[in-house]
Structure 1
């Protein structure tokens, strides 16, 4: 039994019921015996030492490599037990503070996202098989935080509500030139084009997303109104009435924030507005989780607002609104994780068991970070002028109601022309 790991667990776990089967055959129980109940089994002593010294990286690696397993419970229930005991302070042990300081030293190098490097980083994640994403995303392939209007809202409905919420904040007028930075598979841009008659340009660095987004635009008869480019936002030089960016800022890197907002200021017309939707952290600046950086999002970084706002100010832009979405991403990730686990055998057929373990840990760890740690989502509205948006926020709710009526009309028209009845959550834009 690893004495160091035993000491750490004995100190951290005061509630719940964690049974650990060590590689030498000994078993020890931590906590007060209440739920949740989890059993963690080590299959070699190397895994015990690795996790004791660097749990942020090695827990995921050992799970991915099969060096640990869970005879009772699973990786998600284990993370829940740990974080409910430690909360956001899980990485405050002295040796972990030292590791974090060392990782901060290398942070600028890790986030040096040049044009070529940004493209490679994006392709590593977003150019995975489209079949994989179909296993757990909603039908519109929205791969960012949804907006749950009620606890009973389905994932598809929440993703539609997210698009509606962003559109309402942007106050899009017919024929507005709109730029979507990091357009994904095109769902948000197509919503702007179809329901608000906007002239949409979307940019992505993913070949897979670029092809699918344009195919979807053509299939819906919107290819004259919505075009998607395989291009870096830094290479654009025209101006737009509205700019949206959802789930892309996490890939910019802290060393490129000044460049990002200066480019936004150049691209945005004097009377225009922008909506930036991004994951953020609710505490002080830190480093990217090492497992996520190594295996999931190379070059990525989750900022504190204190790292973002100065660059907005220095670019000469005005912050006209900030909204914090707290548990919305936890609920989104829960839906993704449950869908992925329900289709795990199909994912294994596309890749392999190690990949499935990696993806399971990624989804479970990400949900845990939003539910019990310091992750949140912010939406920042930006403009050049103070009067670019209305005086109060009432316009957002009013526009959402109008857009919902438009969706229902579209939905009714689809039903009238089809023998198969559907519901709003089945609409794919």
Structure 2
């Protein structure tokens, strides 16, 4: 197997420099044009076999178990090197081609997410020890792409900017609008819409940990009369709302359920209502979820191309009133999370163990590089039933972000000033 892996590396590395230390202590260097540099030590023959037969799963598992270690740089540098070369040379590993085709064929089964399975998938990642997320997220626990309008914002500033950007697109132009937050997380978006925009918000989640924390936050902020949180699947919503928002949840819906998701949004959205969906997507067309990510981080998860999303929108009767693509914003978000995780690694090891920390390091580093080098991005899709539900031009977004009230809210503010 060593000879096979050697041949694969010789074909793969056309950019940068990879030094591999084999289990017998010998070393081979693979070099191409200027690029990332890393030294990889393989500790046993089993690891070599993993990397040959199932590289998309085996690389992460070997790093978690200690079957491989990075001796120059970090796991980020190794993944940067590997992904940079895979992007430029997609046919370099024959097993990657084969397994990629099989994954595409089976992706509807992998993403089959009825209500019961959705709850189990959510619990796998979001019902971890709550202290974990406080050690690498911002203070508001926003676990989705931040928004860096200038590029030099702190994580806290960028997450606040993200919430303002989304609130602007929801056209919250009068108080007491009824808002549904699908996949409300720890409640940060719902609480912001209630506190800063006077909305009446219902947040739904499938995570018991998130539900408990969100309710406690609403109580602590004195917003329990404006915000309520429920343990509820989106398919069970029966009420009508003026606005619908969903941030970082659509990736868990599954391609076979897109029609049900948008039918739900259409059914619970008032005739003159506005919805905003914020999710990770692919700019390079349909694909499949990485095997390691699917097994260890987000079972049932998938980041779709817009070409896979829009048919569900069209069949629901909703219309797209605005689509925005955020390119490197998630890469910067993940860079902040990765650095905070590293700074608090000892505390996280105490919560879990070394294997868990390696798993999370692999996840954060690989995700960041995917947004920097591959076809991943974030899309924000604004939806409505009626053409006139949103202003004629996009100027109102910048106005709201600048703190200027728009529409009836502006008139109410003007009257108060007089």
Shared fold per TM-score greater than 0.5: yes
2: CA distance, partners of 1:321 / 1:303? 18
2: CA distance, partners of 1:89 / 1:254? 28
User: Where do residues 259-278 of structure 1 align in structure 2 (5 Å cutoff)?
Assistant: 259-278=260-279
TM-score by length of 1: 0.91
CA deviation digits over 1:307-341, x for unaligned, max 9? Answer: 10011001111000100000000000010011101
Does structure 1 conserve the Cα–Cα contact (< 8 Å) formed by 2:293 and 2:363? yes
**Residues 1:349 and 2:350 are matched in the alignment:** yes
Look up the match of 2:192.
191
2: CA distance, partners of 1:211 / 1:88? 46
2: CA distance, partners of 1:151 / 1:261? 33
**Residues 1:114 and 2:76 are matched in the alignment:** no
TM-score by length of 2: 0.94
Look up the match of 2:204.
203
Q: Which moved more, 1:385-394 or 1:87-96?
A: 87-96
Look up the match of 1:127.
127
Look up the match of 1:48.
48
**Residues 1:257 and 2:258 are matched in the alignment:** yes
Look up the match of 1:416.
none
Look up the match of 1:235.
236
Look up the match of 2:403.
402
The alignment yields a C-alpha RMSD, in angstroms, of: 1.5
2: CA distance, partners of 1:281 / 1:185? 26
Q: CA deviation at 1:402?
A: 1.2
1: CA distance, partners of 2:232 / 2:330? 28
SS in structure 2 at match of 1:141:
coil
CA deviation digits over 1:212-257, x for unaligned, max 9? Answer: 1111111111000011111111111011000000000000000100
User: Where do residues 276-295 of structure 1 align in structure 2 (5 Å cutoff)?
Assistant: 276-295=277-296
Q: CA deviation at 1:90?
A: 4.1
User: Where do residues 81-160 of structure 1 align in structure 2 (5 Å cutoff)?
Assistant: 81-87=81-87, 90=90, 93-160=93-160
Number of residue pairs matched by the alignment: 404
Does structure 1 conserve the Cα–Cα contact (< 8 Å) formed by 2:86 and 2:92? no
Does structure 2 conserve the Cα–Cα contact (< 8 Å) formed by 1:370 and 1:376? yes
Q: CA deviation at 1:302?
A: 1.0
Q: Which moved more, 1:321-330 or 1:7-16?
A: 7-16
2: CA distance, partners of 1:292 / 1:281? 16
Does structure 2 conserve the Cα–Cα contact (< 8 Å) formed by 1:83 and 1:90? no
Look up the match of 1:164.
164
**Residues 1:13 and 2:13 are matched in the alignment:** yes
Q: CA deviation at 1:105?
A: 2.7
